[in-house]
Amino acid sequence: MFFIDVGMSKAFVQQQVTVNDVDPSSWRRLFALFNKNILITLSLTVVLSACIFSAVYAVHINRELYSQLEIIQEKRDFYQAEWSQLLLEQSALSAQGRVEQIAREDLAMVAPRTEDTIQIRK
């Protein structure tokens, strides 16, 4: 019986030694795995930060372009109104009655008499 107990104690001591004995390669693997996880986490953090900053920049550019669009649309509306006024003025200035009045008053022109009119027939 004593012999069996000694054998069991040797097995127990061997288990204790293997558990407490640290293999350097396992630490290296654990450290490499830890470094990989940190590296992956840091790289994903950098990518996420870049995405966030690019989204903020895109919103900023969008707002600037929208404000420029509003300014250009205001100018377009102004020029359309001015064009409409110029068309009305042109039609008023080129009216037949006004042209005849200016011809009589400013240029001293008169309508030809029927005796002074020559008709050409083909």
- Average pLDDT by consecutive 10-residue portion of the chain (122 residues)? 51 50 65 78 95 98 98 98 95 85 86 84 83
Q: Rounded distance, CA 36 to CA 45, Å? A: 14
Query: What pLDDT does 23 receive?
Result: 62
Per the rule left: phi > 0, alpha: psi between -120 and 50, beta: everything else, 112 is beta
| pLDDT for the residue numbered 2 | 47
Q: What is the pLDDT of residue 17?
A: 46
Domain boundaries, the chain: 23-105
CB atoms within 10 A of CB 55: 10
DSSP H helical segments within 1-122, as ranges?
2-20, 24-93, 96-105
Task: Retrieve residue 30's tokens.
Answer: 């654990």
Check residue 21 and give its pLDDT: 53
